[in-house]
């Protein structure tokens, strides 16, 4: 049986297992192991399975995942960062739609210490949603600003998807982290400007009150309230930028500092610590399992020559680079509305990455593009993770309100991708300035 036929049968089997409701990790594992046994035989195939599993599970860069998940969980369950929204609102509350703008900026700041989109949306949402509802803000605006703002948690470093991307493609995680900062800031500003314009056009959706301005004393006090978050940002990002620590060492250092800050804030209870450990084990186990089985599946795809065949087919179209990139991203957008994106990224990255780099695109730049794509998936129904978080905090939120609230932010994310394609240095300039490469 020819290799293309084997590949087609394995991919068909994978989708059959998906349709049967089998977990993505298990489906990938079944298909990958069967493919290796088919191609290499029982003895060699099982040896390859063990080798792939060991190399992925023991990757030094991947150790940062549980550490950053733990740091994020400590921030979430100890209460650090809950006052962030109030502090930021004192500075930007005077703007039209000021509380929604404060939600976005609070998410952007919290993103710099969490690494998780869901944790960012949940932490800021718990405080921002009741306050915006009390002020009479429209539900679509509340949903859109918080769901989209939460996605900044995976673009502004630290970012767990960037670690996964870096491990799978052998790209520097430190460079990926630095590459996400400028696009993250730009996207935050784009969100804020869009909210202000929306509030000006529809003032009934974002009523303004005199107390939104805040006193100078309150603004000064707010600087002290965000001090713990600022300390973590300096420790995690500052250490990596100047080359004092690697991303994995920064994760360990950040986890330690978060424990100290939580203890000083009297939020480090046994209950909070227990929930943080459980969340860390659950999330890390899921991610590790998916990556190991996806790597086995990718190994099979490489053995049958799928990446090289795809590259030859695409190059044979004779299209310019911008048209090829447009086709690739359009394909990804279709997936964003249909499947769970992080798992899909892990599945397709080993096939897609050689194609993109073969076309001359920078691997660090493409890593940022993939994270922006993940952001789009997090706020698009029916499987957007951030939408589930916001719905849990806003009972009765309708599908129509979700669509109205998130669609403008999806458009802005697509515009950011266009901007990054036209000006790649928006992502690549900062990594080049790192003191240690």
Containing 415, the helix (H) or strand (E) segment is: helix 399-422
pTM (predicted TM-score)? 0.82
347, two tokens: 């599945």
Contact 368, 180 (CB under 8 A): yes
Q: Give dist(CA 172, CA 430) in Å, integer.
A: 13
Q: Give dist(CA 170, CA 363) in Å, integer.
A: 9
Q: Give dist(CA 26, CA 35) in Å, integer.
A: 14
Contact 219, 102 (CB under 8 A): no
Digit-by-digit pLDDT tens for the chain (437 residues) are: 566 677 777 778 877 877 777 777 778 788 888 888 887 777 887 888 888 778 777 777 778 888 888 887 887 777 776 677 777 888 887 888 888 999 999 888 888 777 777 778 887 888 888 888 888 899 899 989 998 998 888 888 888 888 888 888 888 888 998 899 999 999 999 999 999 999 999 988 888 765 556 666 666 776 777 777 778 888 887 877 777 778 888 888 888 888 888 888 787 888 888 888 888 888 788 777 877 887 787 778 777 776 677 777 777 777 888 888 988 888 888 777 666 667 777 777 878 888 888 888 999 999 999 999 888 888 887 667 777 788 888 887 777 788 888 889 999 999 999 999 999 999 999 888 765 54
Helix boundaries (H) for 245-384 = 247-264, 270-303, 306-315, 321-336, 341-358, 363-378
């Amino acid at each position: 049986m020819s290799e293309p036929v084997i590949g087609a049968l394995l991919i068909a089997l994978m989708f059959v297992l998906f349709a049967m409701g089998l977990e993505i990790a298990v489906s990938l594992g079944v298909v990958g192991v069967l493919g290796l046994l088919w191609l290499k035989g029982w003895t060699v195939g099982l040896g390859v399975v063990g080798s792939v599993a060991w190399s992925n599970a023991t990757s030094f860069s991947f150790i940062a995942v549980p550490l950053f998940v733990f740091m994020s969980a400590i921030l979430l369950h100890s209460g650090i960062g809950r006052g962030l929204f109030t502090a930021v609102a004192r500075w930007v509350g005077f703007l039209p739609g000021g509380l929604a703008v404060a939600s976005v900026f609070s998410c952007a700041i919290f993103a710099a210490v969490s690494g998780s989109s869901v944790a960012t949306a949940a932490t800021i949402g718990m405080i921002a949603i009741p306050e915006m509802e009390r002020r009479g803000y429209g539900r679509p605006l509340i949903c859109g600003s918080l769901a989209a703002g939460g996605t900044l948690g995976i673009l502004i470093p630290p970012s767990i998807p960037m670690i996964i991307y870096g491990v799978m493609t052998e790209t520097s995680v430190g460079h990926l982290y630095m590459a996400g900062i400028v696009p993250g800031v730009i996207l935050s500003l784009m969100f804020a400007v869009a909210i202000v314009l929306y509030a000006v056009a529809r003032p009934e959706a974002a009523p303004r009150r005199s107390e939104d301005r805040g006193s100078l004393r309150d603004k000064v006090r707010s600087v002290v309230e965000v001090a713990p978050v600022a300390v973590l940002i300096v420790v995690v990002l500052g250490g990596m930028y100047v080359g004092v620590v690697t991303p994995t060492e920064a994760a360990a250092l950040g986890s330690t500092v978060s424990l100290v800050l939580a203890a000083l804030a009297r939020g480090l209870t046994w209950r909070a610590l227990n929930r943080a450990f459980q969340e860390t084990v659950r999330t890390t186990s899921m991610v590790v399992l998916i990556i190991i089985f996806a790597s086995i599946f990718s190994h099979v795809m490489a053995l049958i020559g799928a990446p090289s065949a795809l590259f030859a087919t695409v190059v044979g179209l004779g299209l310019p680079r911008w048209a090829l990139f447009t086709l690739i991203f359009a394909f990804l957008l279709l997936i964003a509305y249909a499947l769970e994106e992080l798992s899909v990224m892990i599945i397709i990255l080993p096939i897609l990455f050689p194609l993109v780099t073969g076309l001359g695109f920078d691997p660090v730049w493409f890593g940022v593009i993939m994270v922006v794509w993940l952001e789009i998936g997090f706020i698009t129904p029916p499987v957007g993770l951030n939408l589930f978080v916001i719905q849990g905090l806003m009972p009765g939120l309708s599908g129509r309100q979700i669509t109205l609230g998130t669609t403008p932010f999806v458009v802005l994310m697509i515009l950011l991708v266009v901007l990054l394609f036209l000006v790649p240095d928006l992502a690549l300039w900062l990594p080049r300035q790192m003191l240690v490469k």
